[in-house]
Structure 1
Amino acid sequence: MDPLDLDLINDLLEGEAYLKERIREQSGEFEKKTRIMTSTLDKVHSTPKSEIPALLETVRPVFHSCQEITATLAETIPPDELWKWKELWTTPLRAAVFSVVFACFLTDGTLAPLVAVAEKIGIREEWNDRFSLTPEDYLHGVITLINELSRLAVNAVTLGDFEAPLRISVFAKEVFTGFSMLNLKNDLLRRRFDSLKYDIKKIEEVVYDVSLRKLVPSPTETPMGESHG
């Protein structure tokens, strides 16, 4: 092999290794931010309903700080190399999606759409060939939200919020219906979607319990989309 070719190959290998390490470092910083967000939001399970707005205020600055990291990642990744490096940041990105949709639900009882979540994290449309929020990553975050809400349905009752399970039940069933209309071809995503029926069953059991004890009105009397916080 020509020595010039060897030098060129070595330069390319070193350049790619350096790029990979830079992306890995930035993804690590992203993951640190998502751990702060998820640990902060986890406090909702032991926070009275009246104090949830104050809790949400503490996590919003972290959402904003994520935008600096996503911008740095987008600047680092070469054009048209999204799929080459995507796996390096998939885990923190899905965690960030979960945090955003969880905070949105706690704020007004709605599901934040993909575009709004991307905006909250600071992902711009012009980065689509380098760094973007794919539908798959968004849906994984939404599934994690329903997993978390099945916990919240139980813990909210412990804290004396007997109407929370009813709101959660309506919301979870609407999300499940939406998923049912999608043509899911990704095996992992499909398996996670199929597991949602167990979360919904758990939520329904809590609703049945509080209704049987007459702690709340009938589920049909609870306004759809009523704010949790």
Structure 2
Amino acid sequence: MDPNDLDDLNGLLDHEAQIREKIREQITELDIKTRRMNGKLNRIHSTQRDAIPALVDSIRPILSSCPSTIAALAVIIPAHQYWRWKDMWCNSLRTTVFVASLCHYLTEGTLISLKQTSDILGMQDEWKDRVALSAEDYLHGIITLVNELSRLAVNSVTLGNYEEPLKISSFVKDIFAGFSMLNLKNDTLRRRFDSLKYDLKKIEEVVYDVSLRKLTPPSK
């Protein structure tokens, strides 16, 4: 091989290694934030319903700091190279989507949209060729939300909140119906969607038990 070609190749390899290391630094920072938020959110399983808003409020400052990390990531990624580097941060981004969606459910009782989540994460249109929240990553985060809510349905009964499983059941059924209408071609996403059936069954068993024991008003 021509020595000049070798020098060029080495230069390209070094440049890519530098980009990869800088990306890894930002992902590590984002992971630290998501672990802190997840640690706090895990307390919902042992917290009475009236104390949940205060718990969510303690998480919001950390969530609000995520856009700065994502913005730093967007600066690092070269233009038009979104798909080249996406796999490095997609898992971290999906966890952040889960946190945002769970906080939204706990306070609003509704499903956060893709647009709302992108706004919370500070995504900018001019970044879409470098960093963006894809529909796939959003849906992965929502599936994780359902996984967590199936656990919450059980623990709510333990805390004496017998109406929460009914609310969760209605919410999850709507999500499941929505997923059923999507044309899911991604194998990983499809498999994770199939797992929602087990979460839904688990929640329905809790609702059945609560109803059988007449722990909620008949109208519920």
TM-score range, shorter chain: over 0.9
1:26 paired with 2:21, answer: no
CA distance in 2 between partners of 1:152 and 1:174 (Å): 17
The alpha carbon displacement at 1:34 in A equals 0.8
The alpha carbon displacement at 1:39 in A equals 1.2
User: Which residue number corresponds to residue 90 of structure 2?
Assistant: 90
Q: Once the two structures are superposed, what CA deviation does each residue of 1:32-78 show, in whole Å capped at 9, x if it has no partner?
A: 11111111111100001110000001000011111110000001100
User: Which residue number corresponds to residue 191 of structure 1?
Assistant: 191
CA distance in 2 between partners of 1:208 and 1:39 (Å): 30
Structure 2: which amino acid aligns with 1:131?
A: V
Trace 1:161-180 onto structure 2 (pairs within 5 A): 161-180=161-180
Report how many aligned residue pairs link the two structures: 220
User: Which residue number corresponds to residue 44 of structure 2?
Assistant: 44
Relative CO higher for 1 or 2, CA cutoff 8 Å, sep ≥ 6? 1
Trace 1:1-229 onto structure 2 (pairs within 5 A): 1-218=1-218, 221-222=219-220
The alpha carbon displacement at 1:161 in A equals 0.8
Question: Percent of aligned positions with the same letter in both sequences?
Answer: 57
Q: Once the two structures are superposed, what CA deviation does each residue of 1:137-177 show, in whole Å capped at 9, x if it has no partner?
A: 00000001001000000101111111000000000000000
Structure 1 runs (4+) greater than 4 angstroms displaced: none
Structure 2: which amino acid aligns with 1:51?
A: A
CA distance in 1 between partners of 2:117 and 2:125 (Å): 12
CA distance in 2 between partners of 1:79 and 1:40 (Å): 36
CA distance in 2 between partners of 1:115 and 1:78 (Å): 24
Structure 1: which amino acid aligns with 2:157?
A: V
CA distance in 1 between partners of 2:96 and 2:114 (Å): 12
SS at match of 2:165: helix
Structure 2: which amino acid aligns with 1:200?
A: L
